[in-house]
Amino acid sequence: MPDTTLPSPQGRAGATDGDRNVALTPDGFEDVMIRLDSVSKVYPGSTEPAVAELNLGVPRGEILVLVGPSGCGKSTTLRLINRMIEPTSGRIYFDGEDVTDVNPDHLRRQIGYVIQQIGLFPHLTIAENIGTVPKMLGWKKDVIAARVDELLHTMGLEPGEYRHRYPRELSGGQAQRVGVARALGADPDVLLMDEPFGAIDPITRDRLQNEFLRLQADLRKTIVFVTHDIDEAIKMGDRIAILREQSQIAQFDTPERILAHQVDDFVDDFIGSGSTLKGLNFERVSGLNLGGYPVVRHDVGHRVAQNVLADSSQRWLLVLDGQERPARWVNEAHLDRTDRSLLAVGHVVRAKVERNATLHDTLETMLGSSTGCAVVVDAQGRFEGVVEIEALTGVIARLRTEAKAHYEVYAADGTG
Amino acid sequence: MDFVSSRWGDVLSNSADHAILVVSVVMAATVFAVLLGIAVRGRQGPRALAIGVVGVGLTIPSLALFTLFIPIVGLGFAPAFLALFIYALLPILRNTVTGLEQVDPAVIESAKGMGMNRRQRLLQIQLPLAWPVIMAGVRVSALLTTGIAAIGVLVAGPGLGEFIKDGLRRLGLPNSMEAVWTGTVFIIVLALLFDLVLSLIQRITTSKGLR
Ligand SMILES: Nc1ncnc2c1ncn2[C@@H]1O[C@H](COP(=O)(O)OP(=O)(O)OP(=O)(O)O)[C@@H](O)[C@H]1O
Ligand SMILES: [Mg+2]
């Protein structure tokens, strides 16, 4: 069956996927938590569908980001999942169970829902807001109170201070945290988020995104996250579905692969410039082959240093101090017949990165270095290797080739 | 002052009658108008119709309105009650509809998204949020009916209108103006008292989060 939306059986390429990898089921497809099967929505009074024949699978425990231009049907798609909108045709499955016809109120109590405007209940306290769904589900009072405190604590809000406040007594960022806490109230397996951080200033947004990703690393909820901001999509998504009008999927893949290979001009335009640079965020120094750079200890003397430099094809030589830490960059002009210490000639080494640094940060560091190189050090600052620009261009070329090959295999399989 | 103290008994019993009439009218009108408001909210046609019909009631001259009911229910408390009831509806109905419709759509969206059914959304979210606006309508109705209730004496209704009617009948004779003044002042005092009590009730029954 042709199905453009289920992730391919390839898993993911690259060195960073480790803990974000998804268990593959025996038949090769991933463990799908939410599935839309040919779902369409035509709003009353409209001739064109807002969502047309959408097939979509959301892998369990992952964040799937729906991203696309304004009006392409992201919100409509999200609201079809918890049946805020009834589909015109098609079926919706949760955990394999067809929920297209179950009681929508009961369904929604099992699904967290966060919207951009938050919509906290202004006449209820923060505790009452967060406890809304547990109360509807008939939890005991003390269990609800404990759950509320736990969630406030998780969201970084001191329960004693915030429990009895009203929504109008919160800042925008705090209100959005409470909005997320409220959606998590009854510990649902699935969370739907419609531009949850859209109306917040950039600094607070960045902080909320990071907090949320940390939280998700523990919770492993199945999340559908809507945004129109490709950078937010790249940051938040385990997978991204780039949508065009009527919620048609233009490309569905991991952020890494989407950045390395865009299937068509629409995706290319939507991602805009800088996809290569952004792709370097997903690669780390630890994935590089370091070495081959001329290095000497500070006490070898000028003659040996000159020979080492001459034997290499490089213009610069790296000098290590007594503790194996990178100390100076020296070139031929710095090396003479004097017996001055090698630690007193050349330039201080400033551009240093650790193995877990992203290649994006590494490139940033390299651009600020007089030699165009970044020195890799361990946690104690001891020398481990040198990253040159060729190493980065090599990685970029490899990512592109891999992504392209992936799509070719995919197409050859007849599944694309 | 002499006039009031010499007729203190009448003043008290007329005030009490007046208050009972107004309170029963406002209570009945509140229940009816709030239910009607809930029924027509958010639907253009029914809402316009309800507000239109209730509004027409308010344009009928009060003299006529009071007497209209005599053939149906006779004289006394009943025609006064019915006429005042019609006057009291509009402010409460209007404010109920406005209050319910001005609830932030995002709040309703999130309530729905959390699995609240229509009834829960109405009782737990929309009504509490519209409550201050509804109460403001109730207060206007109370002021309105307290004043107009004076005309109720025309259909032999109870209340402070007795003094005014009595004074007008004996106009020019001793104590006639005093009678009119007594009726008027005590109606105003009663109106202020109602407003005070209602504002207290409004305060107590409105969530701290909305103040
Ligand atoms: N309630 C509605 N009635 C009729 N048409 C609607 C309704 N809601 C959305 N639409 C239409 O459906 C299409 C998709 O809207 P939707 O809100 O899903 O877009 P979106 O991708 O979320 O956009 P945005 O990024 O601006 O939020 C649009 O053309 C919109 O005009
Ligand atoms: Mg939207």
Environment class of A340 (CB within 10 Å of its CB; exposed 0-12, middle 13-18, buried 19+): exposed
- Judge if A200 and A66 occupy the same domain: yes
Judged by CB atoms closer than 8 Å, whether chains meet at A122 and B106 is answered as: no
Residues A226, A299 within the same domain: no
Angle, helices A141-154 vs A172-183, to 10°: value is: 130
Q: Could you tell me if A236 and A383 lie in one domain? A: no
Q: Is residue A76 part of a domain?
A: yes
Which residues from chain B sit within 8 angstroms of residue A121, using beta carbons? 107, 110-111, 125
Residue A129 lies in a domain: no
Query: What is the phi/psi pair of residue A136, to 5°?
Result: -65, -35
Nearest CA to ligand 1 atom 16: A73
Asked whether residue A6 carries a pLDDT value surpassing 60, the answer given is: no
Residues A215, A309, single domain; the answer is no
Domain containing A38 — which CATH number? Answer: 3.40.50.300
**CA angle B185-B189-B192, nearest 5°?**
140
d(CA A238, CA A277): 19
Are A123 and B109 a contacting pair at CB < 8 A? no
Q: Whose CA is nearest to atom 1 of ligand 1?
A: A43
What is the per-residue DSSP string for B144-187?
Answer: HHHHHGGGGGGGT--STHHHHHHHHHTTTSTTHHHHHHHHHHHH
What is residue A295's three-state secondary structure?
strand
A89-140: per-residue pLDDT in tens? 999 999 989 999 999 999 999 999 999 999 999 999 999 999 999 999 999 9
Which among A124, A133, A168 has the least Cβ separation from residue B114? A133
Residues A103 and A33 in one domain: yes
Decide if A109 touches B, using CB distance below 8 A.
yes
Cβ distance of A119 and B209 shorter than 8 Å: no
Asked if A189 and A110 count as a contact pair (C-beta separation under 8 A), the reply is yes
> CB-based contact (8 Å) between A144 and chain B?
no
What CATH number is attached to the domain comprising B50?
A: 1.10.3720.10
The structural domain count of chain A equals: 2
DSSP for residue A341: -
**What pLDDT is recorded for position A16?**
34
Q: Mean of the pLDDT values across residues A192-209?
A: 92
Residues A95, A206 share a domain: yes
Q: Does residue A248 share a domain with residue A355?
A: no
Contacts of A136 in chain B (CB under 8 A): 114-116, 120
Per-residue model confidence as pLDDT tens digits over A19-64: 333 333 333 456 899 999 999 999 999 999 999 999 999 999 999 9
- Looking at the 3D structure of chain B, how many domains does it have? 1
Please report residues of B whose CB lies closer than 8 A to that of A115.
106, 109-110, 113
Q: Does residue A166 lie in a domain region?
A: no
pLDDT at A52 (0 to 100): 94
Longest alpha-carbon distance in chain B:
72
Residues A265 and A291 in one domain: no
A197 and A264, same domain (yes or no): yes
A212 and A97 within one domain = yes
Nearest Cα neighbor of B157 from B16, B18, B4 is B18
Phi then psi for residue A338, to 5 deg, are -70, 170
Residues 6+ apart with CB under 8 A from B5: none
Which atom of ligand 1 lies at the shortest distance from residue A85's CA?
Answer: 1
Considering the domain architecture, whether residues A220 and A100 belong to the same structural domain is answered as yes
Which residues have their alpha-adjacent CB atom under 5 A from ion ligand 2?
A: A 75
Per-residue pLDDT of chain B (211 residues; tens, 9 = 90+): 678 888 888 888 999 999 999 999 999 999 999 999 999 998 899 999 999 998 888 888 888 888 888 888 888 888 899 999 999 999 999 999 999 999 999 999 999 999 999 999 999 999 999 999 999 999 999 999 999 998 888 887 888 888 888 888 888 888 888 888 999 999 999 999 999 999 999 999 999 999 8
Chain B CB within 8 Å of residue A82 CB: yes
Angle between helices B77-101 and B127-148 (to 10 degrees): 150
User: Domain span at residue B186?
Assistant: 2-210
The continuous run of DSSP H or E covering A97 comes out as strand A97-98
A58 with A36, same domain? Answer: yes
CATH of the domain at A339: 3.10.580.10
In a domain, residue A45? The reply is yes
Question: Can you tell me the distance from the alpha carbon of A109 to that of A82, in angstroms, rounded to the nearest whole number?
Answer: 9
**How many CB atoms sit inside 10 A of residue B62's CB?**
18
Q: Which domain does A202 fall in, by range?
A: 21-110+189-272
At B175 the pLDDT is 85
* Residue A162 contacts B, CB cutoff 8 Å: no
| DSSP codes joined into one string, A124-161 | S-HHHHHTHHHHHTT--HHHHHHHHHHHHHHTT--HHH
**Residue A375 belongs to some domain of the structure:** yes
